[in-house]
Structure 1
């Protein structure tokens, strides 16, 4: 049997305000071609199908079209919710969707009831462990003494193993959305540090043939049978060096036979630039990244006026900019220390200098005096 391990689709996510639905549909829809080319039997999504608990109509439409293409290509689909999804909403029609080849494993109390798929070697049980927030999960398990993420996920795996014990000779795959010790995070994952330490030990997944992990956005191998597929697209500039991919997992009669990495296309690469505004606008060396999503760090001694608009004339996909003047060292001060002993005009001028890097001009000072006088209800001096 061949499985395609994916996770963290985050359909509906934006990138610094830019809509990604077209790019998401292109990359995810291409998984259907992979299903055909590599004879994939099952595609799994280990959490965060959507980016929001209540996704937009447009995001739902993209997801529906992608899932339909994969199903029409001949694969069954198994999905479990992540910390971005709403498990009740995602699983609302879970009792009906298996007829179309879509299995939504969203229930905490039924996570030990697998989807069973047969191949020529016999049955394979696929268990879906939704993202388990500790306090609600303890209540659903009826076990208030469980401790944090490790406690609730440990109980989930205990229930999975108990079910497996009653299925001799059955191979097993577990989908789980969690932060496993040894995994490397990026800037685009929402923290799951609720109810204590978010990390759980990889040993929780001992005894299963393959654990398809979700939550971390970089593809990672923690053990031969324990892997993160990562997100199909980059969702932060910290992922610029990620090689986005999915895992092709093969099971034979003895269990895990091999895992192969398949890299995904990059709709729009990411890049970062640093320098003065004039250099960035004029240097021909930067032409290579003109069509990239771009993060820019400006080093001008004074904050350039209208810098982002000017940058976007040359780099239409510049989406993030910071001003960090070269050689300037910021000395953090408390608000009280910064304003003590200064009148309103001095405080205003100090603010202008702090945000722009240059002192207020005479005309700007006059304008500030006029504004302060208007606020105070008196004529400017």
Structure 2
């Protein structure tokens, strides 16, 4: 069986305010071509199908077209909900869709609903598509499970997966939407904390014994182990995303389990380029010839803030999307903004308390209250 591991489609997301739907539709159309050219049996989408819990009509139509093209190319589809999705909306009509080869997994508290039973000439393959598991919501629904964080939530889910495999042995694939141990420092725009209280990492050991683990949540590809990988998003959604490549993992299963994994590229519609220097020098820099059609981020080092910098940049680079002034007297403020961008919400609240209390930060009890409050807000947003 050949699988194509993708994730984080984020249908409806913009790039620094620019609409990406046409570019994403092209990328998803390329997935259908990959299915035909490489003989893909199943396309996996490991969470964050939409960028919003309430996608617009045009975004729903775009996703529907993409899924229809992939099915017409000959692949079944297994799709799980992520933290950006509304599980209830995404999972509507899941029972009906499965009859047509589109398997939607969105019910976090119903482990039996995660298993999709597939088969090839070597026998059964069970795909367990774990929806995004919100620890706060699970704590209130499963108080006896002792779920405090994402690692606990995935541990609870994997116990159910192993019980299912024990009762019905088969080669196994798991989809999960989380931070797993061994990830590089997340991109600045990535969800730094899926429980809003510090980077909540799932140990790789939680996935032991599974033939392949298809992870989502990070937007750049990463290999944590031969059988545990992130595919990243099909488009760049920020200058801070680490990997220039966009694509997915072709995963081959043989009679014994995982046989091989290979990367397959998706087209990159517009490259990302960061330029740095004084505005006038950049506009005249001949070494930057050929970058005019790129998405451009400009880091301006002028001693005084340039007037109308974005308009002037866009005269040469029509797709200039971000400009930062790093020179002059505002440099400390820029450094402060950069430091804040690397800190979680709970850490920012702690810093504020330490500032207003003249160096006295939150107590353990106060920090726990802050984490719990932020997590409740995050859970409410996910449930919308």
Does residue 289 of the first structure (1) align with residue 294 of the second (2)? no
Unmatched segments (≥5 aa) in structure 2:
335-384
Provide the TM-score with structure 1 as the length reference: 0.83
> Are the structure 2 counterparts of residues 328 and 147 from structure 1 closer, same or farther at C-alpha, using a change threshold of 3 Å?
closer
Query: After the TM superposition, which of the residue ranges 127-136 and 196-205 deviates more from structure 2?
Result: 196-205
- 3-state DSSP of counterpart to 1:61: helix
Query: Cα offset for 1:284?
Result: 2.1
Does residue 154 of the first structure (1) align with residue 143 of the second (2)? no
> Are the structure 2 counterparts of residues 235 and 33 from structure 1 closer, same or farther at C-alpha, using a change threshold of 3 Å?
same
How many pairs does the alignment contain? 331
Query: Cα offset for 1:326?
Result: 5.9
Distance in 2, matches of 1:143 and 1:292, equals: 53
Q: Is the 8 A contact 2:138 2:147 kept in 1?
A: no
- 3-state DSSP of counterpart to 1:297: strand
Distance in 2, matches of 1:182 and 1:212, equals: 15
Does residue 229 of the first structure (1) align with residue 268 of the second (2)? no
Unmatched segments (≥5 aa) in structure 1:
333-381
Query: Cα offset for 1:138?
Result: 2.7
- 3-state DSSP of counterpart to 1:183: coil
- 3-state DSSP of counterpart to 2:324: strand
Query: Cα offset for 1:99?
Result: 1.7
Query: Cα offset for 1:144?
Result: 5.2
Q: Is the 8 A contact 2:50 2:84 kept in 1?
A: yes
- Give the corresponding residue for 1:180: 180
- 3-state DSSP of counterpart to 1:104: strand
The CA RMSD measured in Å over matched residues stands at 1.7
Distance in 2, matches of 1:273 and 1:296, equals: 5
- 3-state DSSP of counterpart to 2:289: helix
> Are the structure 2 counterparts of residues 109 and 288 from structure 1 closer, same or farther at C-alpha, using a change threshold of 3 Å?
same
Q: Is the 8 A contact 2:292 2:318 kept in 1?
A: yes
> Are the structure 2 counterparts of residues 160 and 328 from structure 1 closer, same or farther at C-alpha, using a change threshold of 3 Å?
closer
1:40-70 superposed Cα distances (whole Å, 9 cap, x missing partner): 1100000000111111222111111111100
Provide the TM-score with structure 2 as the length reference: 0.83
- Give the corresponding residue for 2:259: 257
Instruction: Map 1:188-203 to 2 at 5 A.
Output: 188-194=189-195, 196=197, 197-203=199-205
- Give the corresponding residue for 1:321: 323
Q: Is the 8 A contact 2:221 2:243 kept in 1?
A: no
Instruction: Map 1:201-280 to 2 at 5 A.
Output: 201-239=203-241, 241-280=243-282
Q: Which has the larger radius of gyration?
A: 1
Distance in 1, matches of 2:203 and 2:289, equals: 46
- Give the corresponding residue for 1:58: 58
- 3-state DSSP of counterpart to 2:99: helix
Query: Cα offset for 1:232?
Result: 1.1
- 3-state DSSP of counterpart to 1:187: coil
Query: Cα offset for 1:327?
Result: 8.8
Query: Cα offset for 1:145?
Result: 2.1
Distance in 2, matches of 1:135 and 1:75, equals: 36
Distance in 2, matches of 1:271 and 1:61, equals: 31
Query: Cα offset for 1:328?
Result: 7.5
Distance in 2, matches of 1:58 and 1:80, equals: 21
Distance in 2, matches of 1:329 and 1:280, equals: 19
- 3-state DSSP of counterpart to 1:96: helix
Distance in 1, matches of 2:126 and 2:331, equals: 58
Task: Return the structure number with greater helix share.
Answer: 2
Distance in 2, matches of 1:23 and 1:308, equals: 23
Query: Cα offset for 1:108?
Result: 1.4
Query: Cα offset for 1:192?
Result: 3.2
- 3-state DSSP of counterpart to 1:143: helix
Query: Cα offset for 1:116?
Result: 0.6
Determine which structure has greater relative contact order: mean sequence separation of CA pairs < 8 Å that are 6+ residues apart, divided by chain length: 2
Query: Cα offset for 1:188?
Result: 2.7
Q: Is the 8 A contact 1:229 1:247 kept in 2?
A: yes
Distance in 2, matches of 1:37 and 1:121, equals: 22
